[in-house]
């Protein structure tokens, strides 16, 4: 059996949903589990709904209406006959949320977040399941929360692999066959109390890998709006080229350094069971995409670029400019961990500890405030972190010309540089 994953871009409107149905029809007589994200940017819209509840800003009802209208219009475009029950089903997903309107919220905001944002994936899969049925595909809608079990770390649920595998084998496996297609949600799960959890933004690739791992899939395919894994983000590099093959290790490195085409946690579960992964284009579904596997030979003649804008450079020193020693580092790391800020690159000298990070502004400011209680802290925003795998010297020279180099690190395979703009 195979696991497919369709992301937000592949189901962003009615035409995109029709395309997904066409792709799935190409695989009609094969056992398939299909993991789907929320439509387009609807997770962002749900985050706005969550914000309205928390702040009681009076915009909740209108945000819900916008979300429902977006989905209703897609339903109207997709189906010839009106489907009031489908619209009602989606609207009813907001029942508990609507009850919070106009009230001060006193519960756990992260738990509420997971409840609210899960509505995106539930809605998209209900619509796609219906559309598939209309096109003659025998699809079975499955609530991923009954299978993907996590701890209660809301917004970043950690998988209970044993329980998830047990449930998937016992409850899902018997329904996987060439006569039907399983349609389920990415990104969502539930804890041991069956309370909804999520796996972190962009987590649907990871969900697909969880299904593939637990069901011992033959392979997994993620369908994207690009021809495969490219050597750079095509939004920034118009001459980016497709990588035909990438090893698990290379894919993990690329994702870890921020190549946003694959969620960083996706590869490890596949690697553990040696499950091949394809990154294919939903625009051109017959074309060969990128194969990620154990034996793939990474073409080291093609350098890969990963650009991360919006980096904050934070420089930390002791108040008396004494040496930075282990005790200080441990205080610093505790604060980064407390504020849930991941360090993208770090460097220390005798008296300075310097990091680059990217995160929400309010979170970084709160972290800096805490650091300032103990240390001298300076920071500047708007730096760019560029990582190059399989670099060469001429690339580096070109890259740093006319820019300020804040930090630079080199290993045999990877060059990383934090750059700022020169002031005139
Ligand atoms: P999904 O719809 O599954 O959520 P994403 O939008 O997260 O898909 O990922 C696809 C996007 O990733 C592409 O549109 C592309 O702009 C971007 N991207 C960044 N780096 C790369 C890369 N190295 N190769 C291909 N796409 C990349
Ligand atoms: N819908 C979620 C998000 O936008 C998960 C995903 O698409 O991967 O983050
Ligand atoms: Mg995405």
Q: What is the DSSP string of 191-229?
A: -TT--EEE--TTTHHHHHHHHHHHTT-SEEEEEESSSS-
Does the structure show a pLDDT above 90 at 390?
A: yes
Contact residues for 92 (Cβ-Cβ < 8 A; gap 6+)? none
Task: Report which protein residue has its CA nearest ligand 2's atom 2.
Answer: 202
* pLDDT beyond 80 at 424: no
Q: Report the separation in Å between the CA atom of 232 and the middle of ligand 2, taken as the mean of its atom positions.
A: 21
Q: What is the C-alpha separation between 197 and 78, in angstroms, rounded?
A: 30
- Using pLDDT thresholds of 50, 70 and 90, give the confidence band for residue 82: confident
Which of 156, 157, 187 should be mutated for ligand 2, with most atoms under 8 A from CB? 187
Q: For domain 304-421, give the fold.
A: VC0802-like (3.30.2130)
> What is the pLDDT confidence band of residue 308, given thresholds at 50, 70 and 90?
very high
- The answer to whether residue 298 scores a pLDDT higher than 90 is no
Query: pLDDT per residue over 206-231, tens digit each?
Result: 999 999 999 999 999 999 999 999 99
Tokens of 37: 């994200």
Q: What distance separates the 2 farthest-apart alpha carbons in the chain? A: 74
| Ligand with the closest atom to the CA of 265 | 2
Architecture of domain 2-217: 3-Layer(aba) Sandwich (3.40)
Does residue 351 carry a pLDDT above 80? yes
Query: At which residue do the structure tokens 């750079």 appear?
Result: 232
Regarding the beta carbon of 202 and ligand 1, being less than 6 Å apart is answered yes
**Residue 380 DSSP class:** E
Helix or strand holding residue 373 (H, E): none
Our answer on whether the CB atom of 8 is closer than 6 Å to any ligand 1 atom is yes
Q: How far apart are CA 181 and CA 30, in angstroms?
A: 8
- Which ligand sits closest to the CA of 47? 2
Domain ranges of the chain: 2-217, 304-421
Q: Is the CB of 224 under 6 A from ligand 1?
A: yes
Q: How far is CA 57 from CA 45, 99, 311, in A?
A: 15, 15, 30
Mean pLDDT of 97-115: 95
Residue 80 is predicted with a pLDDT of: 85
Question: Residue range 289-294: average pLDDT?
Answer: 97
95: three-class secondary structure by DSSP = helix
Dihedral sign from CA coordinates of 24, 25, 26, 29: positive
Is 236 a pocket residue for ligand 1 (Cβ < 6 Å)?
Answer: no
DSSP strand pairing (196-198 vs 188-190)? antiparallel
Report the predicted TM-score, pTM, of the whole model to 2 decimal places: 0.94
- Write down the mean pLDDT value for the chain: 96
Q: List all residues whose CB is within 6 A of at least one atom of ligand 2.
A: 7-8, 37-38, 43, 120, 186-187, 201-204
Round to whole Å and give the CA distance between 188 and 380: 36
Which atom of ligand 2 approaches the CA of 7 most closely? 7
Most ligand 1 atoms within 8 A of CB, residue of 38, 40, 225, 283 to mutate: 225
How many angstroms separate the alpha carbon of residue 8 from the centre of ligand 3? 6
């Amino acid at each position: 059996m195979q696991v497919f994953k369709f992301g937000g871009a592949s189901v962003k409107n009615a035409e995109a949903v029709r395309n997904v149905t066409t792709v799935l029809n190409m695989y009609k007589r094969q056992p398939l589990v299909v993991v789907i994200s929320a439509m387009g940017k609807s997770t962002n819209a749900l985050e706005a709904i969550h914000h309205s509840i928390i702040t009681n800003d009076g915009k909740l009802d209108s945000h819900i209406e916008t979300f429902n209208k977006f989905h209703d219009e897609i339903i109207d475009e997709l189906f010839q006959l009106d489907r009031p029950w489908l619209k009602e089903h989606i609207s009813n997903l907001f029942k508990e949320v609507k009850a919070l309107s106009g009230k001060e919220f006193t519960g756990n905001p992260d738990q509420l977040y997971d409840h609210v944002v899960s509505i995106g994936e539930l809605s998209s899969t209900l619509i796609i399941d219906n559309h598939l049925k209309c096109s003659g595909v025998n699809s079975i809608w499955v609530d991923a929360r009954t299978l993907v079990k996590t701890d209660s770390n809301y917004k970043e649920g950690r998988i209970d692999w044993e329980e998830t595998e047990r449930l998937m084998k016992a409850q899902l496996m018997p329904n996987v066959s060439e006569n039907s297609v399983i349609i389920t949600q990415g990104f969502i799960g539930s804890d041991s109390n069956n309370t909804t959890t999520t796996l972190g933004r962009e987590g649907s690739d990871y969900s697909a890998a969880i299904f593939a791992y637990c069901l011992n899939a033959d392979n997994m395919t993620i369908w994207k709006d690009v021809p495969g894994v490219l050597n750079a983000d095509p939004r920034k590099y118009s001459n980016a080229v497709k990588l035909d093959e990438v090893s698990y290790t290379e894919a993990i490195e690329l994702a870890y350094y921020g190549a946003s085409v694959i969620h960083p946690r996706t590869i490890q579960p596949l690697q553990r069971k040696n499950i091949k992964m394809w990154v294919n284009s939903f625009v051109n579904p017959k074309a060969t995409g990128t194969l990620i596997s154990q034996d793939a030979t990474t073409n080291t003649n093609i350098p890969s670029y990963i650009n991360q804008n919006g980096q904050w450079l934070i420089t930390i020193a002791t108040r008396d400019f004494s040496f930075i020693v282990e005790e200080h580092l441990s205080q610093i790391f505790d604060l980064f961990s407390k504020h849930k800020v991941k360090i993208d690159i770090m460097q220390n000298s005798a008296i300075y500890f310097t990091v680059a990070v990217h995160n929400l502004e309010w979170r970084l400011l709160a972290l800096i405030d805490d650091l300032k209680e103990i240390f001298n802290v300076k920071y500047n925003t708007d730096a760019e972190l560029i990582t190059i795998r399989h670099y060469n010297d001429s690339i580096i020279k070109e890259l740093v010309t006319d820019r300020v180099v804040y930090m630079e690190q080199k290993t045999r395979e990877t060059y990383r540089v934090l750059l700022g703009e020169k002031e005139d």
